[in-house]
Amino acid sequence: MLSSSSHVSPSAALRVFLIDDEPLARLRLRQLLADMVVPTVTVVGEAASAAAALQWLSQYRADLLLLDIRMPGLDGLALAERLRHWHDVPAVVFVTAHPEHALAAFDVEAFDYLTKPVRRVRLQEALMRVMHRLGRVPRPMVETTHPMGLEEEPAIMVSVRGQVIRVPLTEVLYLKAELKYVTLRTARSIFVLDESLTDLEPRLGPRFLRVHRNALVARQAIRELMRRPAAPDSEDERDGGELWSVLIAEVDEWLTVSRRQLPAVRDALVAEGL
């Protein structure tokens, strides 16, 4: 059984309650929250209807509701409106497949409005907003210094079978968008991320170069730029049946360079002395 506490540590985990009539949607949120490194999150319960949520909330406490809008019976907007009159009301972040309700959501003082399928980076942004509003201080995702005071190498945090693994940026050769996911390639491993290249690019910094709309490559990993025969079913820009490509060190893979990005890739290679 869960009980509430009158005192909350500034660094305490965010207590999250899930409300969605779709079991798979709740499972997806649980998986995203389980993989979250910052802020620390505890899923304290879930409900498939507003009525069940009201019953739970009348007995237990949550800091945040991740709330669907369209549900049988009382919908999410009506539930949020009812909760506004409660004492110690939880924060509300709507998670819905219907973007047309955004204005109504903020009328009931929602903290954020996420559309399905939810991306980890947007969910994290919403959680951080709630944490700051509650006066909590989340621990940093990556420590900036070693115990000896030396700067730590920046890294990407990836989730593998429920474990969070730190991949230093110096080990990343490239990131490539494929279908709904992004593949992160090192010399020894391949990881799958559910963040977009657009979200990742500004966080990677100048050491990575966009060579195509679907690929970011570490500058130090590029060994050669040349024209190569295009695959028969390639949808990329063709020039006499050939495509510009870069050779990736250590794995000897070729990645296509788009015509739009070709000047920037050439300039970068000249700057690197290649």
pTM above 0.75, yes or no: no
Where do the structural domains in the chain lie, given as residue ranges? 14-133, 165-271
Common-topology check for domains 14-133 and 165-271: no
* Of residues 266, 215, 209, 265, the one with CA closest to residue 236: 215
CATH number of 165-271: 2.40.50.1020
CATH superfamily of 14-133: Response regulator (3.40.50.2300)
Query: Given the structure tokens 């050669």, which residue do they identify?
Result: 224
| Residue 39: cis peptide before it, omega within 30 degrees of 0 | yes
Strands 91-96, 64-67: pairing kind: parallel
DSSP state of 171: G
235-262, pLDDT tens digit by residue? 555 555 688 999 999 999 999 999 999 9
Residues in CB range of 270: below 8 A, 6 or more apart:
none
Query: Is pLDDT at 10 greater than 60 in this prediction?
Result: no
30-70, pLDDT tens digit by residue? 988 987 777 889 999 999 999 999 999 999 999 999 999 99
pLDDT for the residue numbered 143: 36
pLDDT for the residue numbered 61: 93
pLDDT for the residue numbered 150: 38
CA pseudo-torsion sign 131, 117, 202, 172: positive
pLDDT for the residue numbered 5: 38
* Among 190-194, 228-232, 244-248, 250-254, the least confident range: 228-232
Higher pLDDT, 170 or 231: 170
